[in-house]
Amino acid sequence: MSNQTLLNETHDLNLSSWVESANTGKSDFPIQNLPFAIFKEQNKDNGFRGGVAIGDQIIDLAALKNKNVFSGLAQESLEACSSHELNEFMSLGKAYWSALRLALSKALRVGSTLQSALQDCLVNQSDAQYALPCKIGDYTDFYTSIYHATSVGKLFRPDNPLLPNYKWIPIGYHGRSSSIDVSGQEFKRPKGQIKAPDASEPVFAPCKRLDYEMEMAIYIGKGNQLGESISINDAEDHVFGMSLFNDWSARDLQAWEYQPLGPFLAKNFASTVSPWIVTTEALAPYKMAWTRDENDPQPLDYLESTDNRNLGAFDIQLAVELETENMRKSQQPASQLSVSSFKHSYWTVAQMVAHHTINGCNLVAGDMLGSGTQSGPTYEESGSLLELSNGGKQVITLNNGEERTFLEDGDNVIMKGWCEKEGFARIGFGLVESTILPA
């Protein structure tokens, strides 16, 4: 498979939209993106429904459905997008996703005869309120950054930082889907059992080492039957798209509870996703070769393919900023903490899906996979405060002179993601942000 076989007219750099705000070159949402969300207008009684971003606007897909200007798979897709969640549309599969995306692209281009029809369906993003884009039935969090796994392993297990199975198997655990919420989430600092290294027994207390994790959320579209597995070459046909994901972590609770069965209360109190799902099709230009160090174990057959080697990785840039309460009060900009890329992932999206289903596990539309914290090879690419502060031993100085090792009450963590490549438009994921309230 070559990148050319994945590309179509919707990726053309020369396309421009009659929605002028999409043509600046700085918007996350040019006509080459067209991501999906669930929204409603603030202070209005009409309910949540599907929307697609274009520049600083949202196309109301329920309103567009009523115009009856599309036909075939595209119009059937609009019917499915008019609900308060995208699961039905996601379950329809790749042919439907692609048909609607192409129809929207054509209708939004300069010179389209459908401009007046679609103009009636536009809502300002500044007027919008968002919900989760779909009902997340199950959520699995993977651990795909070898740099993060090694850094954290050194803190928890100095003599044995990377466990022997890491290079053989995509490690993951089943998380708590009910506590995932959309960007703008506020949550109370979690409480639980904490045992200091020099203490004889644990205490019950608010978490003192609250952390973020910079991740990607991978949304399943068309699922598989129980007992059937998804092959690595078919895996991406089952992935609707991706969004930004902050998997909050209580590191002191985690250190006491994680052996022998892994994360529990340290992870189940809150997780935050960005509202916009960027489709796998929109991300096609930014795919790249995936490699495995020749000195490492090579993947077993069910995790190996030529297509995965050639184009299994996604070059998605990821950045984290911290806005403290003092910054908000004095209207100072947030302080950037790190920048990395999803291309550093040790395991690919296709490998995660193939491994998840190899034992016959059935995935359904709306299921979400977390990529695990995406840290790169250098310190500046660390995807968590645990790494940036070296387990709390190293103070991080912010732009305004404030200091952090872990997060404090009132802190707002902001994550951004984007793709850019010569010959193609820059596309983005919007923001995911969330603020910590006192315990």
Q: Which residue has the tokens 């190899």?
A: 358
DSSP symbol at 109: B
The closest alpha carbon to 278, from 349, 330, 339, 337, belongs to: 349
Tokens of 52: 């697609």
CA distance 374 to 382: 8
Strands (E), 27-112: 36-41, 49-54, 57-60
CA atoms within 13 A on the CB side of 358: 15
- Residues 351/236, Cβ–Cβ less than 8 Å: no
CA distance 304 to 390: 35
CA distance 99 to 76: 10
Tokens of 311: 């184009």
Q: Is the peptide bond before 260 cis (omega within 30 degrees of 0)?
A: yes
Tokens of 425: 């438009």
30: helix, coil or strand?
A: coil
234: helix, coil or strand?
A: coil
Identified catalytic residue from 11, 84, 148, 344? 148
Cα dihedral 385, 172, 240, 421 in deg (nearest 10): 50
| 148 in active site | yes
- DSSP secondary structure of 84-104: SSSHHHHHH-HHHHHHHHHHH
378: CB partners within 8 A, 6+ apart: none
- The phi-psi region of residue 390 (left if phi > 0; otherwise alpha if psi is between -120 and 50; otherwise beta) is left
CA distance 58 to 1: 34
Cα dihedral 120, 125, 126, 129 in deg (nearest 10): 100
Q: What's the burial of 199, exposed, middle or buried (CB within 10 Å: 0-12/13-18/19+)?
A: exposed
- Counting every residue written for the chain, the total comes to 439
Strands 412-419 and 317-323 turn out to be: antiparallel
Residues tagged active-site: 148
